[in-house]
Structures are given as structure tokens and as C-alpha cells.
Amino acid sequence: GLLLTIADTMEDLGMLSGAEAPLKEGLAIQRRVLGDDNEQTIVAISALGILYRAQSRLDLAEPLYRETLERARRVLGPEHPKTLTAINNLGLLLISRGNAAEAEKCFRDALGVRERLSGHDDPSTITTLSNIGLALYRQDKPAEAEPFFKEALERYRRLKGDDDPATLTCMNNLGGLYRAQGKFEQAEPLFREVLEKRRRLRGDEHPETLESVNNLGVLLFSEGKFAESRGDHPGALRRAH
């Protein structure tokens, strides 16, 4: 409806605080007119939850994410794209709220369906693999997380190439996992490759490039390579300005 369109436009423009009122009003109207189990109502419930997530109001987002998933499963079916998206959204929210064990279950539930419907090399399947790895990592299970991160990276390299942002994110995640395990020699080439590619593709001042500068700098410091990590060595990191 018009209220939801207005809210979407405000959200797209970064006007998050102004989007809440039309989203809430639009949802109330749809609940009353169409009913709670109508597909448009389910989309509206999800939209309000996503807004709260974007505002970091996670306690308000979670019940809406759970309601979206419960209704999507029952009304649309467990294999519907909106249901699978709802599973992914809830899983990522749960990780943000410190409930990585339940998030892992969400992602594992989705993985089998995605592999069966979309294939092993579909981006949504690969993202789900990576999310399982993230959920395991957040549970302090790095050895269990590693094969998921490695498999996601291998599939993204094959599907999208070495320079794709999704490939670089997977590479960065695997580097972070190795760093957390103290496997600095395995982490360093990954962090260096991500930094080189992000610098070339995104530029020195892009937030992802700055993240990579920091990741490599922290790793080099941990390895005792103090001069290079500080940037006062002939082969040092070039800092983004």
C-alpha cells in the first residue's frame, strides 16, 4: 500500500526514524483488512522487523522476525523463497543477539532445502554455508567452522571469481578464523590478498579497505612484525588517508 511505499522510500533514503510510523500504520491496516496470514501482511511484518534491525533495536526486531518465519512456514510453506529469507534473517539477528546456537540450527535447516532447490553453487546456498561457519565461530568452535568457511570460499571463487565482494568477504572470514586460532602464517596471505584486491577495486578510503588495513595491521603486530604493522618500514602497509 501507499504507506508501505512511503516507508520503503524513507528507508532507502536513510530516513530510518521517519519510516517507523508509516510501517506500523500500514501493518496495522493490513492485519485488520487482510488478516495476519495474508502474504502481504507477512511481508509488512518482516519490513518492520528489518527497520528495527537497521536501527539496532534488536529486542523489537526479534519477535517480528519470529512471527514472519512462523507465518511464512505455515502459509507459504517451508521451501518458499520468503520462508528461506526469513530463516536467514532470523539467524543473523540471533547471532547479533548472542544466540549463535539457535542461529546455527536455523541455517542448517535452510541449507538442505537450498541445496535441493537451487543447487550447491547457488549464491544463496553458499551464503548459508558461510553463515553456518559464522554461527559455529561465534560459539567458539573454530575447528568446526573452518570447513564451512573453506567450502564457501572455494565455491565463491569458482562461481564469481577472485575479485567478487562475496569471495573477498569469505576470504576475510577465513583469515579471521585462522587468526583467532593463532594460525598466523595461514591468515596473513589471505588478509594481504583481500587488502590488495579491495584497495584496487574499492579505493583506499572505502570502509572495507580500511577494515582490511586494520585486520592485516593487527595480525602483523601479533606476529611480532612491529615495523610493518606501524607503517615505518620500506615494505610497510600503505595506510588509507
Query: What pLDDT does 18 receive?
Result: 81
Closest to 194 (Cα-Cα) out of 174, 223, 178: 174
Say what angle helices 165-180 and 142-160 make with each other, to 10 degrees: 160
Query: What pLDDT does 4 receive?
Result: 47
Query: What pLDDT does 241 receive?
Result: 38
How far apart (Å, rounded) are the C-alpha atoms in residues 126 and 52?
A: 27
Tens digit of pLDDT at every position of the chain (241 positions): 544 444 444 455 455 678 899 999 999 999 999 999 999 999 999 999 999 999 999 999 999 999 999 999 999 999 999 999 999 999 999 999 999 999 999 999 999 999 999 999 999 999 999 999 999 999 999 999 999 999 999 999 999 999 999 999 999 999 999 999 999 999 999 999 999 999 999 999 999 999 999 999 999 998 888 777 666 444 445 544 3
Query: What pLDDT does 224 receive?
Result: 87
For 50, what's the count of Cα atoms within 13 Å in the CB-facing half-sphere?
Answer: 19
Alpha helices for the chain (secondary structure H): 2-12, 16-33, 39-54, 58-75, 81-96, 100-118, 123-138, 142-160, 165-180, 184-202, 207-222, 226-230
Query: What pLDDT does 174 receive?
Result: 95
Place of cell 558461510: 130
Query: What pLDDT does 237 receive?
Result: 57
DSSP 241: -
- Report the residue count for the chain: 241
DSSP 218: H
How far apart (Å, rounded) are the C-alpha atoms in residues 238 and 241?
A: 9
Could you tell me which residues come within 8 angstroms of residue 73 by beta carbon, excluding any fewer than 6 positions away? Answer: 83, 86
Query: What pLDDT does 13 receive?
Result: 42
DSSP line for 7-60: HHHHHHTT-HHHHHHHHHHHHHHHHHHT-TTSHHHHHHHHHHHHHHHHTT-HHH
Burial class of residue 232, CB neighbours in 10 A (0-12, 13-18, 19+): exposed
Closest to 168 (Cα-Cα) out of 225, 130, 204, 220: 130
Burial class of residue 165, CB neighbours in 10 A (0-12, 13-18, 19+): middle
Query: What pLDDT does 223 receive?
Result: 87
